Amino acid sequence: MRYQDPMGMLDMAVVAVALSDRLDPQDYGEGAVFDLHARAWAELGNARRVNDDLVDAERDFQFAALLAQQGTGDQLLLARVLDLTASLYRAQRRFEEAYQLLDAVYAIHLDRRDFHLAGKALINKGLAKGYANEPEEGIVLLCGGINWVDAEKDPRLHLAAVHNLILLHVETERYAEARNLVRSNRDLYTRLGDGMLCLKLRWVEGKISAGLGDLGLAETALREVRSAFAERGLPYDTALASFDLAALCLRQGRTGEVIQLVEEVLATFRALGIGREAIAALMMLKEAVATERGTLDLVRRVAARFSRLEREGSADWL
């Protein structure tokens, strides 16, 4: 349910915890009941993470770990709890702790010779490396994970890994590699992608076109996704697409349009009461462009700040 109805996912996890609490250890065995308790609480923690309730999610994961210690010692259960907790740490930007947990998950699955799940641990670590601004390491880990996971067994995992690999290729200006990945996986996007993912694909296609110098195609794509994000009420995504469009205009000396784009984002953020840090960054960018001190590097640095804020405040889809 997480991809279509995150709140429904949370409701279902609450019910699962309640039902697991009613199991009689005399009927099912004490260890097995503790295992199921632990699994239910871990899934509840993950549902809270997906719904951006990171504080309660951490509490749930801590309780799940305590329950698992009283269970049968099932290594698959331990790996699941550690894997989900690592996703929480990634969202909290506690990257070193996330890496340690994912290394433990990888070791458990490798010892069992389950290369699919070991590959998933590599993918999760690669995603964390991307969030931690270590794209080169992220690319290596994502490529390794993609080679190990069974795409037929879990096509959504495969697509998530490919999409994040494309993003890291764009971030490191490997535009030709990114374009080839888009082309070779377009059928998978069409088959599995929902409306939001298709918008993100269109967005990255605009960035790729800009990087390869096809500015007309890039501008068309970026204007499309910017309007779509605004219609969906997604201010941070709208801002990031606006920055990509502003960088494109700046490359062509269209400073008046850059100022207009920044003013539109400013007006939206002020109306929503979004924090002073964001407003200050936008004001600085607007003044720099107006006085002809605006550079592509400045636009990218401001965009990177917003990208960090957006990642911290939203649930990823992996």
Give the contacts of 139 (CB within 8 A, at least 6 positions apart): 126, 165, 168, 169, 172
Instruction: Supply the pLDDT for residue 317.
Output: 46
SS3 call for 253: coil
Closest-CA residue to 121 (of 79, 89, 151): 79
Residue in this structure with the two tokens 């960054």, named with its chain if needed: 281
Instruction: Supply the pLDDT for residue 32.
Output: 95
Q: Name the fold adopted by 233-318.
A: Four Helix Bundle (Hemerythrin (Met), subunit A) (1.20.120)
Q: What is the pLDDT of residues 156-209, one digit of tens each?
A: 899 999 999 999 999 999 999 999 999 999 998 988 877 888 899 999 999 999
Averaged pLDDT, 5-29 = 94
Averaged pLDDT, 33-38 = 96
Instruction: Supply the pLDDT for residue 315.
Output: 36
Instruction: Supply the pLDDT for residue 278.
Output: 63
SS3 call for 116: helix
Instruction: Supply the pLDDT for residue 313.
Output: 37
Check whether 42 has a pLDDT greater than 60: yes
Instruction: Supply the pLDDT for residue 272.
Output: 67
Instruction: Supply the pLDDT for residue 1.
Output: 84
Higher pLDDT, 77 or 317: 77
Check whether 314 has a pLDDT greater than 50: no
Instruction: Supply the pLDDT for residue 282.
Output: 67
Q: C-alpha distances in angstroms, 174 versus 171, 262, 281, 308?
A: 8, 28, 28, 21
Instruction: Supply the pLDDT for residue 3.
Output: 72
Instruction: Note whether 173 and 211 are within 8 A (CB).
Output: yes
Instruction: Supply the pLDDT for residue 306.
Output: 61
Q: What's the pLDDT band for 239 if we cut at 50, 70, 90?
A: confident
Check whether 270 has a pLDDT greater than 80: no
Q: Which helix (H) or strand (E) holds 299?
A: helix 296-312
Check whether 79 has a pLDDT greater than 80: yes
Domains in the chain: boundaries: 1-73, 233-318
User: Of all residues in the chain, what percent carry a pLDDT higher than 70?
Assistant: 86
* Alpha-carbon gap, residue 313 to 51, rounded angstroms: 10
Q: What's the pLDDT band for 258 if we cut at 50, 70, 90?
A: confident
Instruction: Note whether 291 and 301 are within 8 A (CB).
Output: no
What is the pLDDT of the chain when averaged over all its residues?
88
Q: What's the pLDDT band for 153 if we cut at 50, 70, 90?
A: very high
In the chain, how many H helices and how many E strands? 16, 0
Q: What is the pLDDT of residues 294-305, one digit of tens each?
A: 566 776 666 666
